[in-house]
Amino acid sequence: MAPDSEGRVALRRALLSVSDQSGLLELAKALAGHSVELVATSGTRAALSDPDLRVRSAEELTGVGAWFGGRIKTLHPGLLGGILAPRTEEGTAELQRRSLVPIDLVVVNFYPFEAGLREKPNRPDPEELVDVGGVTLARAAAKNHKWVAVLTDPSDYAAVSAELDQTRGSLSAATRLRLARLAFERTARYDRAISAGLAPSSIAGPTPFPETATFRKDPLRLRYGENPHQATAAYGLALPEGVLSPWPLELRKGDSLSYTNLLDLDTALATVSEFPTPTAAVVKHATPCGVASGATVREALERAIATDPVARYGCVIAVNRPVEADAPEALKGVYVDLLGAPAFDPAAEAALSRRSKLKLVRVDPPAIDRPRWEAHSATGRLLLQETDRRQLVPSEFRLVTAGAPATPHEACALDFAWRVVRHAKSNAIVLADGSKTVGIGAGQATRVKAVELAVGVAGPRAKGSVLASDAFFPFADGVEVAAAAGVRAIIQPGGSLRDPEVIAVAERHGIAMYSTGWRVFRH
C-alpha cells in the first residue's frame, strides 16, 4: 500500500518465515488484531496453530512446495514480486497483471549458522547451515523499505506492535528505515560468520582468532571518554564463537558510567575473580591499589581499603560476593566512585543509595575457568589476545635460595600476592601479609622504583610481608630495597642474566626467593 501524506504505510499483508520462533505467536496475534492477513511458510505456519489465527500458506502465493529437500521454498516471484514491487501506479498495475499480491511486512530470521557451528564445530558440511531464502527475503524487504517493513530480530517485535497500536495498524517511514538498516546489519553479520565458518581452519576446528570480527554498538550509554571533551561509545565484539559478548551489568544507581569506569571495573572484577573466598579489589587508573580477602564482604572491604588511604580516593571497588546489610559500614568516610557486586542486600542498597555520588553496578565477576579474550587498539589496529588465566601450579613454585623456605603463612601470602600482581600495571610489585595487600607499586619504568613505591605505601607494614614481582629483577637493587623494609619472602618469574646476583642478595638478607618461570606483564 502507498504511504499516506505523513509517510506511514498501513499493513495489509505480512509474510512470516522464521527459524527463531521467540515472540512469534504474540506478534501474529498483534498483527491479526489490526486485520493484517498472515502468510507463512510451512514450519512457521505450524508454530501458529492457534484456533483464533487464520494463517494462509505461502504455497498459495507460489503454487509450489519445497524443492530439493527444502532448499527452495521462498525463492519465487510469487513472494519476491509482492515484496519488491514499487507501490506506484505502474507497479500496482503489474502486480495485478501478474496475479501477484503486495506484501507489506516481512518477518524473517535465518538458519542459525553461528549456533550450528558452535554445537558441532567439526561438521563436514557447514554450508548446509547457510540460509539463502531467508536472507533474500530480508534484503528484498529492506531494499524496498519505502513501502515495505522488515523484522529480523524478535527483540523488535514489541516496539513494532506498540506503534501499530498507536497508529491503527501503520508504520512510519522512520521505523521502516530503521528496521531496514537492522536487516542489512544482520545479513552482513551473517555473511561474515559464514565466510569465517567456511575457512579451511574453521572447518577443521575452532581457531583462536577468526579471519573476521564484527562490532555492534552496545546500548550502554557512556558519559565521555578518558576526558570530558572526548566522545565515546561502547561496542561488543561479536566473534563467530561469541566469546567476546559483553558481560551483563545493571546500573542500579547513578546516571551513567564513563569510559574509565569500565576500565577500572574490568580490572577490579578480574582481580576478585582470582579468589574463592569473599574478596574486594580497590582500583584506580585501571590498576589495583588494595586487595583483600576476608570471612565476609565487610571484612574484605575494610582490609582492602586500608592498603592505601591516599590512592583509594575516588576509586572503583568490586567484590565477588553479594554485599551484605552491614558491609556499607566499611566504606564510611571513603569516597568511592563506583561499587560493583553480584547482588546487594536491600538494606545495604538503601544505605549506599544515600551516598549522592556513588554509582552501584550489579555485575558478576568472570568465571576463572571460562576462556576470555581482550581487545585493545594500537596504530590503527585491533589487537586481540587471550586473557591471562594461567594458574600457578606447585611444581612451578620453585625455591631458588639456599636458606630456609617460606613459612606456611608466608607461602599463602606469596600465592595471594602473585594473583594480585598479574592485574597491576607493569612494572608491578605487590606486598602482602596473609590474604591482604599492604603496599602496591605499579606502572613504573623501572622495577626498583615500583619496589620503592610499594614499600613507601606499606610503611611499617612492610616488615614481615612478602613480595610478588610481575617480571624478573634485572638488577639486585629492588631486592636490596625490599630487604631494608623487612620483606621476608619474594616470588618472581626469574630468567634475568643477573639471576645469580639477585639470588645471592636475597640469601644474604635471609629472604626466601621463589621462581615461577613465567611472567605476568600487564600494560
Ranges of beta strands (E only) in 72-224 are 105-108, 149-151, 170-171, 214-217
509 is catalytic: no
Distances (CA, A) of 112 to 98, 194, 237: 34, 11, 19
From 34, 143, 146, 409, active-site residue: 143
From 34, 76, 146, 285, active-site residue: 285
- Look up residue 120 and give its DSSP letter: -
Cell of 434: 596473609
Ranges of beta strands (E only) in 285-335 are 287-293, 315-319
Cell of 325: 546489610
d(CA 195, CA 218) in angstroms, rounded, equals 24
229 is catalytic: no
C-alpha 158 chain-centroid distance: 25
Which residue in the block uniquely carries the three cell numbers 606483564?
Answer: 521
Ranges of H-type helices in 144-213: 157-167, 173-197, 200-204
Each residue of 485-507: b (16+ CB within 10 Å) or e? bebbbbbbbbebeebeebbebbe
C-alpha 300 chain-centroid distance: 26
d(CA 236, CA 244) in angstroms, rounded, equals 7
CA angle 104, 109, 110 (to 5 degrees): 135
Residues noted as catalytic = 143, 285
